[in-house]
Amino acid sequence: MAALEISASTYARSGSCFSPNDLSSSSANLRLVIKNRRRRSIPCSARRIAKILCSVAPNQVQAPELSTTPAGVASKKECFGVFCTTYDLKSDDKTKSWKSLINIAISGAAGMIANHLLFKLASGEVFGPDQPIALKLLGSERSFQALEGVAMELEDSLYPLLREVSIGVDPYEVFQDAGWALLIGAKPRGPGMERAALLDINGQIFAEQGKALNEVASRNVKVIVVGNPCNTNALICLKNAPNIPAKNFHALTRLDENRAKCQLALKAGVFYDKVSNMTIWGNHSTTQVPDFLNAKINGMPVTEIITDIKWLKEEFTERVQKRGGVLIQKWGRSSAASTAVSIVDAIRSLVTPTPPGDWFSTGVYTTGNPYGIAEDINFSMPCRSNGDGDYELVKDVIFDDYLWERIKKTEAELLAEKRCVAHLTGEGNAFCDLPEDTMLPGEQ
Ligand code: LMR
């Protein structure tokens, strides 16, 4: 076991500076807001001169006359010229029977996963055809130009439900009033990087984003952490957001659930919609436990359909645990499209009622769990939802020695990860004694 101590004092925000003259602007087809007008100070490195972002060349743009905004049309500080009148959401709501606008914040928005995800969100396939949305895209200073490109592509797609796009590099700006926060952005583990170092680097990102959510997001924001190591990042995030219910923080293990369903379907020779009740227990790592004991195929226990228990215990389990790594070997990069699809699935599982008798997996805060899993960690467990964004844990699951032994192993790993980030969760000095035989799915 590698042991490393990190002092709480080594974690501090870097120096910051502020310009009151930062501007916002908008764009041709939908409201595009450059989020730099900050109430908070930001690191000097993250400062950017705001500029008009518009598909139309500047010399073709007629300067807006804001004073001509017709009476009765709410003036929006961030809107630009004609968009102040044409995007009167309130009157659109009346004629289209739309729900009220929801704000969706996405970090790592210039990356591959987000590139698949954003267009699904904008099309209405995630939240429904009567749900207008605002996309609030968080990137880094380095990715800012790419973020502008993403926003332009969204703009050019003419999605009727996409009412607003804003881009920025400061979570305190971008997360303002977010009802959903999809936290994708994280550093990948570089060559030779200790796992403890990855936990620390990404942990700092999620501690900061937790603080930002705590300060500016909706009090009932639902947070899905995708950036790895996602369970511990979700724990760090919620610990830094004490004013948001801990229950609202999820770590994405839906991708693992989908992978497990696919493998069982292949082995049983059935289409994957016949596989249900698939739980992934624990960490999104190679200790995760795809639970074939409680899963069903055509409503029957998997073990009655696939009687090769050795295959289930060894090949199936390892295939799911290491699927991400095999994919990286073939593709040369991490899964992106299937991750985006699984984020969609994870959201839809919370905003639509779970089919009777079924459940879904998500990494959630363990406090009060009925299984006897250690409290105060983020652990993937079986959940059901009535479609209101909330969930409850499924109680009627069974355990045998094999399943419980593996659950204890993934639990031990998460407890070790938690000790290793104590400096980021406000629990004193970190002590890293991570087991050496476990990895993220992508590390092989
Ligand atoms: C995956 O499961 O595909 C990813 O989490 C792999 C990784 O480590 O990026």
Q: How many Å lie between the centroid of ligand 1 and the Cα of residue 407?
A: 20
Q: How many Å lie between the centroid of ligand 1 and the Cα of residue 188?
A: 9
Q: Which atom of ligand 1 is nearest to the CA of 256?
A: 2
Q: Which of 343, 440, 443, 444 to mutate to test the pocket of ligand 1 (most atoms within 8 A of CB)?
A: 440
Confidence of residue 236 (pLDDT cuts 50, 70, 90): very high
Q: Which atom of ligand 1 is nearest to the CA of 228?
A: 5
Active-site annotation holder among 116, 250, 284, 423: 284
For residue 272, pLDDT beyond 90? yes
For residue 18, pLDDT beyond 90? no
Q: Which residue has better confidence, 336 or 188? A: 336
pLDDT in tens, 146-191: 999 999 999 889 899 999 999 999 999 999 999 999 999 999 877 7
> What is residue 260's predicted lDDT score, i.e. its pLDDT?
98
For residue 440, pLDDT beyond 70? yes
State how far the Cα of 290 lies from the Cα of 94, in Å rounded to an integer. 47
> What is residue 91's predicted lDDT score, i.e. its pLDDT?
65
Task: Please tell me the residue having the least CA distance from ligand 1 atom 2.
Answer: 324
- Range with the poorest average pLDDT among 17-26, 180-189, 216-225, 314-323: 17-26
Q: Which residue has better confidence, 51 or 84? A: 84
Confidence of residue 89 (pLDDT cuts 50, 70, 90): low
Task: Please tell me the residue having the least CA distance from ligand 1 atom 6.
Answer: 442
Could you tell me the two tokens for 346?
């994870």
State how far the Cα of 370 lies from the Cα of 227, in Å rounded to an integer. 28
Average pLDDT, the chain: 83
Q: Which of 327, 333, 335 to mutate to test the pocket of ligand 1 (most atoms within 8 A of CB)?
A: 335
Confidence of residue 331 (pLDDT cuts 50, 70, 90): confident
Asked about 284 being catalytic, the answer comes back as yes
Pocket of ligand 1 (CB under 6 A): 228, 255, 324, 327, 334-335, 440-442
Q: Which residue has better confidence, 285 or 52? A: 285
Mean pLDDT along residues 101-128: 97
> What is residue 92's predicted lDDT score, i.e. its pLDDT?
65
Task: Please tell me the residue having the least CA distance from ligand 1 atom 1.
Answer: 324
Q: Which atom of ligand 1 is nearest to the CA of 334?
A: 9
Q: How many Å lie between the centroid of ligand 1 and the Cα of residue 291?
A: 19
* % of residues, the chain, pLDDT over 70: 77
Q: Let me know: does 179 contact 220? Beta carbons within 8 Å.
A: yes
pLDDT in tens, 182-227: 999 999 877 767 778 889 999 999 999 999 999 999 999 999 999 9
Task: Please tell me the residue having the least CA distance from ligand 1 atom 8.
Answer: 442
**Torsion-angle region of 343 (φ positive above 0: left; ψ -120 to 50: alpha; else: beta):** alpha
- How many other C-beta atoms are found inside a 10 Å radius of the C-beta of residue 323? 22
Q: What is the Cα gyration radius of the chain?
A: 23
For residue 237, pLDDT beyond 60? yes
Q: How many Å lie between the centroid of ligand 1 and the Cα of residue 207?
A: 21
Q: What is the 3-state secondary structure (H, E, C) of the chain?
A: CEEEEECHHHCCCCCCECCCCCCCCCCCCCEEEEECCCCCCECHHHCCCCCCCCCCCHHHCCCCCHHHCCCCCCCCCCCCCCHHHHCCHHHHHHHHCCCCCEEEEEECCCCHHHHHHHHHHHHCCCCCCCCCEEEEEECCCCCHHHHHHHHHHHHHCCCCCEEEEEEECCHHHHCCCCCEEEECCCCCCCCCCCHHHHHHHHHHHHHHHHHHHHHHCCCCCEEEECCCCHHHHHHHHHHCCCCCCHHHEEECCHHHHHHHHHHHHHHHCCCHHHEECCEEEECCCCCCEEECCCCEECCEEHHHHCCCHHHHHHHHHHHHHCHHHHHHHHHCCCCCHHHHHHHHHHHHHHHCCCCCCCCEEEEEECCCCCCCCCCCCEEEEEEECCCCCCCEECCCCCCCHHHHHHHHHHHHHHHHHHHHCHHHHCCCCEEEEECCCCCCCCCC
Q: Say if pTM beats, i.e. exceeds, 0.75.
A: yes
State how far the Cα of 120 lies from the Cα of 73, in Å rounded to an integer. 30
Q: How many Å lie between the centroid of ligand 1 and the Cα of residue 246?
A: 24
State how far the Cα of 333 lies from the Cα of 232, in Å rounded to an integer. 22
Confidence of residue 94 (pLDDT cuts 50, 70, 90): low
> What is residue 189's predicted lDDT score, i.e. its pLDDT?
74
Mean pLDDT along residues 13-17: 29
Q: How many Å lie between the centroid of ligand 1 and the Cα of residue 323?
A: 8
Confidence of residue 444 (pLDDT cuts 50, 70, 90): low
